[in-house]
């Protein structure tokens, strides 16, 4: 069972790391970059980046949630309560992230994607981006905590 916990926690960690890295890049590099460009450039670049992100990022996102849940379940079944709890904490972080993403980020993504594809600049483009930016640090923190939880799961599963 330790091997199953390890494999599942590794999958959860690797998939979480993809989203974590993307969110950290958004918070640390892209947010200040986009603050310095005009609204048309903002919409064109962000709209297109969200188009590809919305299409390509669900796979690691879904795999991270499934692997996290499976890690928690296997941990508890194997009697490794600490591993189960750590994986469950990681899963909770991912689920909160998913809630924030779906309620705040995704609707904004979709507006900016549509605007970029139509080569239009919504009057509230900057406000939309500011709202999106307002939770990127929280999103990155949640992903980082989930990643840490999966790493700790690996550490305790071996003992």
Could you report the per-residue pLDDT of 7-16, keeping only the tens digit for each? Answer: 999 999 999 9
The SS3 assignment for 79 reads coil
pLDDT higher than 90, residue 158: no
Cα atoms found within 13 Å of the Cα of residue 12, Cβ hemisphere only: 35
3-state helix, strand, coil in the chain (%, to 5): 90, 0, 10
Q: What is the pTM of this model?
A: 0.95
pLDDT higher than 90, residue 52: yes
How far is residue 135's CA from residue 12's CA, in Å, rounded to a whole number? 23
User: What pLDDT score was predicted for residue 110?
Assistant: 98
Of 146, 148, 153, 147, nearest to 4 (Cα)? Answer: 153
The percent of residues in the chain predicted with pLDDT above 90, rounded, is 97
């Amino acid at each position: 069972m330790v091997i199953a916990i390890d494999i599942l926690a590794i999958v959860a960690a690797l998939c979480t790391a993809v989203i974590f890295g993307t969110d950290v890049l958004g918070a640390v590099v892209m947010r200040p970059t986009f603050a310095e460009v005009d609204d048309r450039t903002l919409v064109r670049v962000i709209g297109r980046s969200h188009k590809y992100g919305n299409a390509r990022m669900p796979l690691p996102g879904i795999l991270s949630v499934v692997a996290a849940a499976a890690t928690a379940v296997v941990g508890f079944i194997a009697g490794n309560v600490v591993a189960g709890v750590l994986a469950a904490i990681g899963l909770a972080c991912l689920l909160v992230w998913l809630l924030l993403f779906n309620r705040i980020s995704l609707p904004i993504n979709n507006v900016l994607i549509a605007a970029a594809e139509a080569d239009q600049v919504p009057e509230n483009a900057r406000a939309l981006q500011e709202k999106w930016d307002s939770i990127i640090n929280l999103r990155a923190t949640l992903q980082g905590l989930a990643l840490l939880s999966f790493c700790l799961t690996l550490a305790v599963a071996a003992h």
